Chains A and B, each alone.
Chain A
């Protein structure tokens, strides 16, 4: 089954990355086809594995001691737009334009 335009549009919204062209969409189709082979494997009763280190429990909470910091200057160094100690962002809470209004390959699909 082909992926619907609604799902493709949804993916562009979620990923904030565009398909660019037909090749991009076909790439996804092929990826899904490839992944479908997983369903040939019987996984009844098998627990999903998050980490190969699950038997050696690495994750621990360290003591709440401040051991580093004061690196504001370093952190701001690589930002293109900043004001005093703030990273400057365009206005938020504005959703990405809808499919019909957006400049995307998916338009008119």
Chain B
């Protein structure tokens, strides 16, 4: 028992020993949220309920009966998860003012274990996008824009230019969650991942982003985008913490019939020392056009790291990789067209004043409620689903999907345990540059390395690897076999330990720094 505690030191132990109380933790996080408001990471801060939850947690610690490792831990949730009594907007006019009548299963699970829900984080509208720039509450700013590391490297183009125009994006669509974790305002956050929406911002914000196997974690209460690919995502500051979150969230949910029925056993990650039995696959097609030379070099270095430690590192081929994004585009828009049909103004959400007919009311409601990106995807999706196009596009894409899945099956069957790839093509772009291209183009470019894992339902994780020349985080991605999260996370943890990714140096956090934040800064709560 003592050895177990030794491994899982820091915040959890501090809470148990009374060195810090849940209320203190909660208050510090709330204060930091206020002072980092310029990041625009949060849409709703649930101050009152969070403090109440913290107080209840404190009572339990006083009685020596904490619910578990997550008791009293402040967390944030992406605003496309239903949270009872708290506004859930999906960053859209369509759901402004919508107060969820229930908790998503994953939210309920966190609350049942005593986690403190600080608030709902910002995203691209309805999780459509790769920058967290296209929501009605404005874009999210990457905390690293304000880091010492980035400021040291940036050369102002003119003396009148200040950091206001220089800030970089978080990536998306779970940008708010990634920014929240990265800026220490919470210990972990929930995101969602349909094409890379958890891993992409994780890479840009220097945090761990885990996309679990499809079917492992319940989607009940997660406002759906693509039912056959969506998964709740986990964002934390270290791999161990991701394993803790996974342990508390995974498992069959009778309310989500796409969750597998097998029993899930939460696990602690072993400290892997011997990688000689490991076979790492390097898919050559992931050397995609546009991949920055920096990231290519890091990817290579990482492969060497494994090789020098005794692992078998082999080049593999996933021949249909370049069609993956096209396939995704068709399937995604088709499912979106279907999923967005529920927004008609009758039962919830925005409702137009038009009264002539249901159709005209629905049309006006949707006209007023959805932004260009959402409307564009709905229309494209409907096009691909037209009778004359159904076989040509939708069914064709479903066939190509099978080919993509088979590519992975073949590679894993050949003895490869884990695939190692870059997560993004480059480090985070400045906002002013990012918005030069439209959402669809950006998504097509940025999702290229992440979305095949969603196609195949495989677990994948971004591990922050190094800082780019501009002083911004770059991450690498590990993709594992279906339902083999333990192996995936074990390898990711080993890698994380080898590279020692630097901590962000933020002025705001220094100001609030005291004993409590020492725990936060030591990166993990587990």
- Chain A residues in contact with chain B, CB under 8 A? 3, 7, 10-12, 14-20, 23-24, 27-28, 30-32, 34-35, 37-41, 43, 46-53, 56, 58-60, 62, 71, 74-75, 77-81, 87, 89-92, 94-97
Contact check: which of A3, A43, A51, A79 meets B347 at CB < 8 Å? A79
Known A-B contacts A35-B329, A49-B399, A56-B215; A15 and B354 likewise in contact (beta carbons under 8 Å): no
Known A-B contacts A14-B382, A48-B395, A77-B99; A27 and B376 likewise in contact (beta carbons under 8 Å): yes
Q: Closest CB-CB distance, A68 to chain B, in whole Å?
A: 10
- Interface residue ranges of B68-93 to A (CB < 8 Å): none
Contact check: which of B361, B366, B399 meets A90 at CB < 8 Å? B361
A-chain residues with CB within 8 Å of residue B402 when the two chains form the complex: 46-49
Q: Which residue of B lies closest to A18 (CB)?
A: B367
Q: Which residue of A lies closest to B256 (CB)?
A: A58
Q: Which residue of B lies closest to A14 (CB)?
A: B382
Query: Are B378's CB and A17's CB within 8 A?
Result: yes
Contact check: which of A19, A46, A47, A96 meets B379 at CB < 8 Å? A19
CB<8 Å pairs between A and B, sample of 25:
A16-B362, A16-B366, A17-B378, A24-B372, A28-B380, A28-B383, A31-B329, A35-B384, A38-B326, A43-B400, A48-B395, A48-B398, A49-B398, A49-B401, A50-B228, A52-B482, A53-B258, A58-B258, A74-B101, A78-B99, A89-B346, A90-B358, A92-B357, A94-B358, A95-B359
B-chain residues with CB within 8 Å of residue A38 when the two chains form the complex: 323, 326-327, 330, 393, 396-397, 400
Complex formed: what's the CA distance from A63 to B4 in Å? 42
Given contacts A17-B379, A87-B346, 13 further A-B contacts (CB under 8 A): A14-B382, A15-B366, A23-B372, A24-B375, A27-B380, A28-B383, A31-B383, A53-B214, A53-B457, A59-B257, A78-B98, A90-B357, A94-B359
Query: Are A11's CB and B379's CB within 8 A?
Result: yes
B364-394 interface code vs A (CB 8 A; 1 in, 0 out): 0011001010011011101110100000110
* Interface footprint category on B: 35 or more
B330-347 interface code vs A (CB 8 A; 1 in, 0 out): 100100010000001111
Contact check: which of B215, B347, B351, B363 meets A75 at CB < 8 Å? B347
Q: Which 4 A-B pairs have the closest CB atoms?
A: A52-B457, A48-B398, A94-B357, A78-B348
